[in-house]
Amino acid sequence: MSTISYEIKMLKGKTALITGASRGIGSAIAKKFAQQGANIAIVDVGNMENAKIVKEEIETFGVQCKVYVCDISDFAKTKELVDQVIIDFGGIDILVNNAGITRDGLILSMKEEDFTKVIQINLTGAFNMIKHTYSHFMKKRSGRIINISSVVGLTGNAGQSNYSSAKAGLIGLTKSVAKELGGRNVLCNAIAPGFIQTDMTGKLNDKVKESFMTMIPLKRQGMPDDIANVALFLASDLSSYVTGEVIRVDGGLAM
């Protein structure tokens, strides 16, 4: 007697717009969502070679995927982007604000442009994306907004005043948006990753990596999939009564 198994896909038929999805955490989230049935709009500012590779992987899950080039710090360009994604996919159900940059340095030596650029991409970019999807989510009376912050947005970090400020601001933005849109069944949450294995952390020398390990109770570096798993929870119906929350995924680093 044969048995029939039914795989329930948590995001089947949904469309997710994910910024910075050509690599690292953004790529992991895009592939995780696609595996669970979501169509994916990949947004990146210039890494098209990687974006195309991610797109090909996503399409193996039998979902739709398109790549868009956009500087999310540009208010007008982000509106054009959102409008085009809505046309191409028929709507947006999930927004993941993941794109971010670092320009580290002590305040003593940090240039004004290094501080401003990080704020523009990491914080203003998220505002732009939320601003231009806001009315769409309100009309649908549903939606999920997931902002990728950082534990340094909670604790601060020497040499990262710009990055920490942007990520702390993203937490404040998350809570404000959650309060504004909660009545329309639009949930807004943030994830605060810790020391995750990405291209960004891969540039650190072994001594710095070892010092981080001594501070992490789980004694290991996190993986992009660790973040993607929590993002999937927040994007799915499993989190239908969770909004305005900041979930640390850091192995206990900021505990």
Q: Which residues are catalytic?
A: 163
Residue pair 99/24 in contact (Cβ under 8 Å)? The answer is no
Dihedral of alpha carbons 28, 34, 35, 36, sign: positive
Q: In the numeric block, which tokens belong to residue 191?
A: 């994830």
For residues 35 and 54, give the distance between their C-alpha atoms in angstroms, rounded to a whole number.
13
* Packed helices 161-181 and 112-119: angle between N→C axes, nearest 10 degrees: 30
Selection from 125, 85, 137, 152 nearest residue 243 by Cα:
137
Q: HSE (CB half, 13 Å, CA atoms) of 56? A: 6
